[in-house]
Amino acid sequence: MRTWRSNRMLFLGVCLFIGGALFLTSRAGVLAPVEGIAAAPLNFIAGVFNRLGLGLGQGLEDWSEIETLRQRNADLEEALAQFQSELVELREIASDYRRLADLLEYTTIAQNQRVVAADVISLDQNPQLRTIVINKGTRDGVALGMPVVTRQGLVGRVQDVSANAARVLLVTDPSSAISGRLQTTRAEGSVIGQLTGNLRMTYIPLDAQVQEGDLVITSGLGGNLPPNIVIGQVTSKRQFEFELFQEAEVRSLIDFGTLEIVLVVTSFQPVDLSVFEGGAGG
């Protein structure tokens, strides 16, 4: 036991001596070449761990930034969806404003007419039947034969009516025939709907001047419609040899495919002339 303790003390003394010697020689610079060689692998290992630490730290920072960007992107998408919804709503309001402004302009011009505004709730434009259904009926003062208009002109006439709805026969329907006149020359004729969706003015006197761009308005003859409502605009004319009349192709100024709000002229009551026709026949 005493020998083991003496050996341990000797070993400790030797270590201290070697350590002190290495310290002194290192301070004196004698071990500088050896220290450089020994430090190279240690520096390499330290550099590797340093780069790993930096990479790990940067990765954690990037991950945190990615999560922040994801959250920000989600917030922006939510805000964009809300803005798009508001934009659609504002566009609808602007569109309604323009339509109502047009209708107001018509009512301002036609001060002697009473009208009721109605929404178009159904549209049927097949070649055999061109009608719309509106959400106003007899309880709103709507009756058979009343004209339906917009600022651009004549839409048609009330064909069927219930308490809260009415069916309107469009001027472009093939069964629609309206007494019209050229606004410039006052020449008269009959405006008939076509299968193509356009209009044709027939029975125009041969001596009447018909020009492209002339407006065609209601004449009021027959008592079915009030006068001076725009029907459409002449796009072309034609005259056949040996015919007693000339014809003109007419285009309505109304886009019937986008009708949403119309006016029913409730102050006009169609005149029933059948009683006079019956008397003449008798």
Closest CA to 150 of 217, 211, 229, 244: 229
Residue 166 domain-assigned (yes or no):
yes
Average pLDDT for 179-197 = 93
User: What tens digit of pLDDT does each residue of 74-117 get?
Assistant: 777 777 777 666 666 656 555 555 655 555 555 555 557 788 98
> Residue 169 above 80 pLDDT?
yes
Residue 11 domain-assigned (yes or no):
no
> Residue 281 above 60 pLDDT?
no
Residue 41 domain-assigned (yes or no):
no
Q: What is the DSSP string of 16-76?
A: HHHHHHHHHHHHTTTTHHHHHHHHHHHHHHHHHHHHHHHHHHHHHHHHHHHHHHHHHHHHH
What per-residue confidence (pLDDT) applies to 272? 73
Per the structure block, which two tokens stand in for 20? 């002190």
How many distinct structural domains can be found in the chain?
Answer: 1
| 114 secondary structure, DSSP code | -
Does the pTM of the predicted model rise above 0.85?
Answer: no
Average pLDDT for 204-233 = 92
Residue identified by tokens 């790993």 is: 52
Rama region for 47: left / alpha / beta (φ>0; ψ in -120 to 50; rest): alpha
Residue 238 domain-assigned (yes or no):
yes
> Residue 265 above 70 pLDDT?
yes
Residue 136 domain-assigned (yes or no):
yes
Instruction: Please give the C-alpha separations between residue 107 and each of 62, 155, 256, in angstroms, as whole numbers.
Output: 66, 15, 20
Average pLDDT for 195-221 = 92
Contact status, residue 216 vs residue 181, Cβ threshold 8 Å: yes
Apex CA 181: angle with CA 161 and CA 101, to 5°? 55
What per-residue confidence (pLDDT) applies to 257? 85
What per-residue confidence (pLDDT) applies to 84? 67
DSSP-assigned beta bridge partners for residue 204: 246
| CATH number of the domain to which 134 belongs | 2.40.10.340
Domain extent, residue 213, equals: 115-269
